[in-house]
Amino acid sequence: MSLQAFSSSFINKFIYLKRAFGNQPFRLLDIGAGNHSATKVKRVFPQCEYHGVDLERDYNNSEEDFKRMTAFYEMDLTQLDFSPIPDNYYDAIVMAHVIEHLHNGDAVIRGLLPKLKSGGYMYLEYPGEKSTRLPSMRGSLNFKDDPTHVRVYSVQELAALFAANQCTVLKGGTRRNGWFIAAMPFRIVASWLQGKKLQGNIFWDLLGFAEYVWVRKE
């Protein structure tokens, strides 16, 4: 495993996917497939069949990223037309830092669940209620730092939604990733050495910016 793949394997969503699938092949639907997500996933899970969804094709992706995708669906999730995506096909769906941009995220989740196989998993991550009380900072530390954030969700709200749709929340709460907390001083020094301004996401795990749920479909 490369150093990049090793460090990426400590990302929360990858930790849960690793527990579920190990090194076995699986089909993944990644909701929010920008920022080179396909390449990052394939580094850690080279046998994963990767399908991406995003509002725009060119959201910080390269042709190399698209070569690693089996399929890409360009769509506005809020329109609730998921017909291009196959039903009962995926072993896992990941939706990290997307739902807070959707005024109808609950309806989006209900529309995506038929795409997941029975026994499949879904991972959601989003800024929690605590993020509304954190100080403002470049790179988002307060919920309102990103003007495209439109709705605050909670573990309790999402757990009720999943329970009503034949799913079980296996784990959920505030994201406190020990790896990123331990790496925080090194990331701060690296930013200074590179002449970059500190980004709020460096402090997410220490301050409890994000919440998550890990769900299994019955």
pLDDT tens profile 168-203 = 999 999 999 999 999 999 999 999 999 999 999 999
Residues pairing with 95 in the sheet: 31, 124
Q: What is the pLDDT of residues 108-136, one digit of tens each?
A: 999 999 999 999 999 999 999 999 999 99
pLDDT at 3: 46
Those residues with Cβ within 8 angstroms of residue 184's Cβ, 6 or more apart along the chain or in another chain: 202, 203, 205, 206
pLDDT at 9: 72
pTM here is: 0.94
The count of structural domains within the chain is 1
- Domain residues for 136? 3-217
Range list of H helices, the chain: 3-8, 12-21, 37-44, 63-67, 105-112, 155-163, 178-193, 204-207
CATH number reported for the structural domain that contains residue 209 in this entry: 3.40.50.150
pLDDT at 175: 97
